[in-house]
Amino acid sequence: MWDTAGQERYGGIALSYYKSAMGIILGYSVDSRESFKNVNKWIKQISDNTDTNLPRILIGTKVDLSNRRVTYEEGRKLAESYGLRFFETSSKENYNVAEAFETIARDIKRKYIDKRQTGLETSGKESQGDMTQSILSPGRLRLGTEDRKKSCCS
C-alpha cells in the first residue's frame, strides 16, 4: 500500500506502482477545493496506466474539520460519475476509515479470487492473484511510505 498524498514529487513513482496495483483508493480533503479538483487528473492518470476494471474507491478525508470546502453531495456525484464507491472519512474521529479499507479489500478479493476460480487469470498475472491471500490476511497490511510517519495528522 502506497500513500503518495497527491504530491507531484511522487508522480513518477506512482506510475510504476500502477502496473502491479490490485486496487486504488483516491482521496481528497474536504477542506481543500484544489485537492478535490485534482481527483480528475488522478483518475485520468490511473485510467491511462491501469486495468480499467481495477477496484477503486474515492474518499473525502478530514470530515471532522469545520472549514469544509467540498460538500458530501459533490464528492458523491464525482464518485458516481466515474463509477466509484464513495466514503467520507475522518482519521481523527475514526469515522469510516475501516469501512473504506474493508470495502476495497473485499472488492480486490472478489476480483482476484473470482478470476482464479473461473480460470480467467492471464499469463503474467499469477503473482498478483497469489498475493491476494497475503494482502487480505489479518496483520499483514503495511503502509509503503515512511513519510506518513513524519507528516501524519499534523
* Cβ neighbours of residue 39 closer than 8 Å, sequence gap 6 or more: 26, 28, 58, 78
Write out pLDDT tens, residues 34-59.
999 999 998 998 888 887 788 999 99
Of residues 146 and 7, more confidence is placed in 7
**H or E element that contains 94:** none
Beta-bridge partners for 88? 60
The average confidence (pLDDT) of the chain is 76
Backbone angles phi, psi at 88, to 5 degrees: -105, 140
What is the residue extent of each domain of the chain? 19-149
pLDDT bin (cut points 50, 70, 90) of residue 140 is very low
| Cα–Cα distances in angstroms (integers) from residue 108 to residues 57, 99, 111, 131, in the given order | 11, 14, 5, 11
- Strand residues in 62-125 grouped as ranges (E): 85-88
What confidence score (pLDDT) does residue 129 get? 39
Average pLDDT value for residue range 1-20: 64
3-state secondary structure of 150: helix
3-state secondary structure of 65: coil
What confidence score (pLDDT) does residue 18 get? 74
Is the pLDDT assigned to residue 28 strictly greater than 80?
A: yes
Are the C-beta atoms of 7 and 41 separated by less than 8 Å? no
What confidence score (pLDDT) does residue 71 get? 98
Distance, in Å, from the CA atom of 148 to the CA atom of 137, rounded to the nearest integer, reads 23
Pick the CATH number of 19-149 from 3.40.50.620, 3.40.1190.20, 3.40.50.10330, 3.40.50.300: 3.40.50.300
What confidence score (pLDDT) does residue 11 get? 56
Distance, in Å, from the CA atom of 111 to the CA atom of 23, rounded to the nearest integer, reads 10
What confidence score (pLDDT) does residue 128 get? 41
